[in-house]
Amino acid sequence: MTTPDFIRHREGLASLIDGKLASAALDSAVAAQSAALAARIGRKPCLAVVLVGDDPASHVYVRNKVRRTEAAGMISQEFRRPDDLGEAELIALVETLNADPAVDGILVQMPLPAHMDARRVVEAIDPAKDVDGLTATSAGRLVLGADGLRPCTPSGCVWLARQALGDLSGLHTVVIGRSILVGKPAALLFLEQDCTVTLAHSRTRDLPEVCRSADILVAAVGRPEMVKADWIKPGACVLDVGINRTDAGLVGDVAFGPSEKIAGHITPVPGGIGPMTIAVLLANTLKAAAARTGEKITDPLRG
């Protein structure tokens, strides 16, 4: 197995998985296939992004989504709405996008303002356009192992783990965190790779001991540097999903400095899993466009 250039071997330290470089490679693959698909169907794949409110981080993420969608040769439609938008109005916007044949993918940026029920809003999205993979239909397909659009961040984790380790069959993956966005789908996606999966959470007993048995450790708890170096099995692949803003800057859920001396592979924060979220989103938009137009493509995440 040849090591891709976004995985950097370092003497005496864990190999660094550079998610920024990895996502650039995926974006290029998506761009090439998107151009070929556009030539066949007579239009470019199109992603509609809906942003409600003024959460500063969400604005950054949406700006990056728009920029990278356009850079990959796809059309980006952006819908910004104020914080006091009613849930019914938001659902009406989603339904308009469902009905628009030129829109292939719909994404409602999370978190939504507290007065909205995010589940009701997500369920309004046509599953064929659910590029976030968050509707009950997409989740059900994942549970069944049926084809479908998979959630972006956990798909990025699996893709990177495969690039780093090759076949994941039989490896023990411990996922810490049971969110709908990351933890639960990550557990199912690693199971799909024939891993033995433990889904750990805030009530898990002796979490450090559970983590020490992981060949692949996915930290998705949202608590700065909660995972300590002595929780990590020597040589393990550590995927840090956390993005925590602290006085010391942006840090992950893993204490990176001490952990890179123990792990075999590790993702940094920033520049690790985060950028992969958008790369998978673009791949999902391409897949949705192909499926909606009855065209065949090579899945950029399988290549």
Ligand X SMILES: Nc1nc2c(c(=O)[nH]1)N[C@@H](CN(C=O)c1ccc(C(=O)N[C@@H](CCC(=O)O)C(=O)O)cc1)CN2
Interacting residues with ligand X (CB under 6 A): 57, 60-61, 107-110, 132, 152-153, 181, 243, 250, 269-271, 274-275, 277-278
Query: Which residue out of 27, 33, 109, 184 is catalytically annotated?
Result: 109
Q: Which is nearer to ligand X, 61 or 190 (CB)?
A: 61
Q: Which is nearer to ligand X, 31 or 243 (CB)?
A: 243
Q: Which amino acid is at 250?
A: L
User: Is residue 77 among the annotated active site residues?
Assistant: no
Query: Residues with Cβ < 8 Å from 248, sequence gap 6 or more?
Result: none
User: Is residue 65 among the annotated active site residues?
Assistant: yes
Residue nearest to ligand X (CB): 274
| Numbered residues of the known binding site | 177-179, 243
Query: Which residue out of 104, 126, 132, 240 is catalytically annotated?
Result: 132
Residue 250 C-beta: closest distance to ligand X, Å? 6
Cα pseudo-dihedral 232, 139, 73, 66, rounded to 10: -80
Residue 19, both tokens: 């998610």
Residue 40 C-beta: closest distance to ligand X, Å? 28
Q: Which is nearer to ligand X, 28 or 196 (CB)?
A: 28
Q: What is the DSSP letter of 2?
A: P
Residue 274 C-beta: closest distance to ligand X, Å? 2
Residue 252 C-beta: closest distance to ligand X, Å? 8
Q: What is the DSSP letter of 227?
A: B
Residue 106 C-beta: closest distance to ligand X, Å? 10
Nearest-angstrom CA–CA distance, 27 and 166: 21
User: Is residue 247 among the annotated active site residues?
Assistant: no
Angle at 123 between CA 118 and CA 126, to 5 degrees: 135
Specify whether the CB–CB gap between 260 and 13 falls below 8 A. Answer: yes
Query: Which residue out of 65, 129, 184, 233 is catalytically annotated?
Result: 65
Q: What is the DSSP letter of 168?
A: -
Distances (CA, A) of 5 to 8, 141, 266: 7, 33, 15
Q: Which is nearer to ligand X, 107 or 168 (CB)?
A: 107
Q: Which is nearer to ligand X, 109 or 173 (CB)?
A: 109
Residue closest to 211 by CA, chosen among 185, 231, 196? 231
| Numbered residues of the known binding site for NADP(+) | 177-179, 243
Helix (H), strand (E) at residue 250: strand 249-251
Q: Dihedral sign, CA of 33, 35, 40, 44?
A: positive
- Please list the active-site residues: 65, 109, 132
